[in-house]
Amino acid sequence: MDTLVAQLQRQFRDYTISLYHQGFLDDQFTELKKLQDECSPDFVAEVVSLFFEDCEKLIGNMARALDQTGNVDFSLVGSSVHQLKGSSSSVGAKRVKGLCVTFKECCDSQNFEGCVRCLQQVDIEYKSLKAKLQDLFNLEQQIVQAGGRIPQVDI
């Protein structure tokens, strides 16, 4: 019969794999995990937290810019999209990064409806990723509190 630790570790492994297979995360997230060590055990959580702060700020900027009906500064929107694409690339947020590519194209072609749609999708996607990563970090905490080690997951 599985111990609690073994069950949690299996859950953690399965959940991590699903996040990659469903396209939420890519190799860059793996690279961040490799940088985490005993000296900085919360490194990934800190980086990810900064990323989500970035998302909120940039999405706010884009929303305000798109709200200027008839006078939208698409280059301003595009600049925020570019920054978000960079941040999402740095943490391995694959779906958010992918949406930014489409979003940037809409900005470049000054497609207002396209931009609004992309903004909505980016907002949904980053919130979804935030919830999923929180679940992942909670699982890590549960494993550690149960006296176990967080397993390395090969993707």
Partner 1 sequence: MATKSMGDIEKIKKKLNVLIVDDDPLNLIIHEKIIKAIGGISQTANNGEEAVIIHRDGGSSFDLILMDKEMPERDGVSTTKKLREMEVKSMIVGVTSLADNEEERRAFMEAGLNHCLAKPLTKDKIIPLINQLMDA
Among 15, 20, 43, 112, the residue binding partner 1 under the rule CB under 8 A is 43
Q: Which of 7, 11, 28, 142 binds partner 1 (CB under 8 A)?
A: 28
Please count the residues of this chain forming the interface with partner 1, following the rule CB under 8 A: 22
What residues form DSSP beta bridges with 37? 40
Distance CA 119, CA 64 (A): 11
From the list 17, 50, 124, 155, which residue makes contact with partner 1 (rule: CB under 8 A)? Answer: 50
Backbone angles phi, psi at 67, to 5 degrees: -80, -10
Strand partners, 25: 93
Reference 92, options 133, 131, 64; nearest CA is: 133
Stretch (H or E) spanning 59: helix 43-66
| Cα(68)–Cα(64) distance, integer angstroms | 7
Min dist CB 48 to partner 1, Å, is 10
Give 20 or 43: the residue with its C-beta nearer to partner 1. 43
Q: Which of 10, 21, 34, 64 binds partner 1 (CB under 8 A)?
A: 34
Q: How far is the CB of 55 from partner 1 (least distance, A)?
A: 11
Name residues contacting partner 1, limited to 73-112 (CB under 8 A). 82-83, 85-87, 89-91, 104
Q: Is 153 helix (H, G, I), strand (E, B) or coil?
A: coil
Please report, as ranges, the residues that interact with partner 1 according to CB under 8 A.
28, 31-32, 34-35, 37, 40, 43, 46-47, 50-51, 54, 82-83, 85-87, 89-91, 104
